[in-house]
Amino acid sequence: MTTIREAQRLGRAHLHHSPSPALDARLLLEHVLQRDHAYLIAHDDEPLSVDEEAAYRSLLKRAAAHEPIPYLIGHAPFMGLDFIVSHHVLIPRPETEQLVELATAWGRGKAAIRAADVGTGSGCIAVSLANGLPQAEIVAVDLSQEALEIAAANVARHAPERVGLVRSDLLTALGPGLDLIAANLPYIAGHEWPTLSIGVKSYEPTLALHGGEDGLELIRELLPQAAERLRPGGLVLLEIGWQQGDAVAALARDWFPAAAVSVRADFAGHDRIVAIET
């Protein structure tokens, strides 16, 4: 029978295409066995059952076909928390943590804040804002009912009764009086689609990725809605593609002519967030 040590070796061989084959194999094995890393180390000579080995090999086959590991194990990390994910929502990215950090730094010390997370997906931004800004009233909106169900499960796990969930086409279901609007909307342009990895374009939801011909379709729709709903002294944070800083900043100045508009780089030095401070 295959031992835990042998299973990890098998996994590394199957996932040689991955940037992190050892980690991927370990995460899949932990998922199948429902055991943590320490257990795998301490019991590496323990054999897998027939069913466990079959389940593990099945996951390895799917992972070798570029299906993302978070979808296979059903969860992904973000801001130190573990979020449920499915094929109905994007896998949370480390770059998006910077948006949350900017929002919480801005809101810290303020009294009451009404915040909206637009296109919430898994709910990772809304939940993280709830944890970082305990005084805030937060609503998370998404057009996808399936995404809202995943977000609801994550809210229940990490921020119970702190985040309202609304099905909405961007901000259309919300009224004015918002202090903070955070949005990680689809921003992949049509010409960029063929360049995406197989794991992204084949398994993650197109609705949450494709932003139209130039990638800015939904951002164009959101900005006038945000201008109608943001209070004076408020903040809009938009995650963008790495080549979209100038274009999105120009759009923002059209709708917020008196605001301070800035483009923030991510840790790799690429344009990643447009901030609009009124």
β-strand 136-142 against 113-118: which pairing, if any?
A: parallel
- The pLDDT value recorded for residue 201 is 85
- Confidence tier at 89 by pLDDT (50, 70, 90): very high
- Residue 1's pLDDT band (boundaries 50, 70, 90)? confident
Report the C-alpha gap between 142 and 259 in whole angstroms: 26
State pLDDT tens for residues 16-49: 999 999 999 999 999 999 999 999 999 999 999 9
Task: Name the pairing type of β-strands 136-142 and 81-84.
Answer: unpaired
Q: Name the segment(s) of the chain with CATH classification 3.40.50.150.
A: 87-277
For residue 268, pLDDT over 90 is answered with no
Tens digits of residue pLDDT in 188-204:
888 888 888 888 889 98
Q: How confident is the model at residue 132 (pLDDT cuts 50, 70, 90)?
A: very high
Q: How far apart are CA 219 and CA 208, in angstroms?
A: 13
pLDDT band at residue 148 using 50, 70 and 90 as cut-offs: very high
> Structure tokens of 84?
């449920």
Q: What pairing do the DSSP bridges indicate for beta strands 75-78 and 163-167?
A: unpaired
When the candidates are 3.30.360.10, 1.10.8.10, 3.30.365.10, 3.30.230.10, the CATH number that belongs to 4-65 is 1.10.8.10
Burial of 248 (0-12, 13-18, 19+ CB in 10 A): buried
Decide the pairing of beta strands 271-277 and 178-183: unpaired
Q: 3-class SS at 126?
A: helix
Where along the chain do the CATH 1.10.8.10 domains lie?
4-65
Q: What is the pTM of this model?
A: 0.94
Q: Domain spanning 87-277: which CATH class is it, in words?
A: alpha beta
- pLDDT score, position 190: 87
In this prediction, residue 209 carries a pLDDT of 86
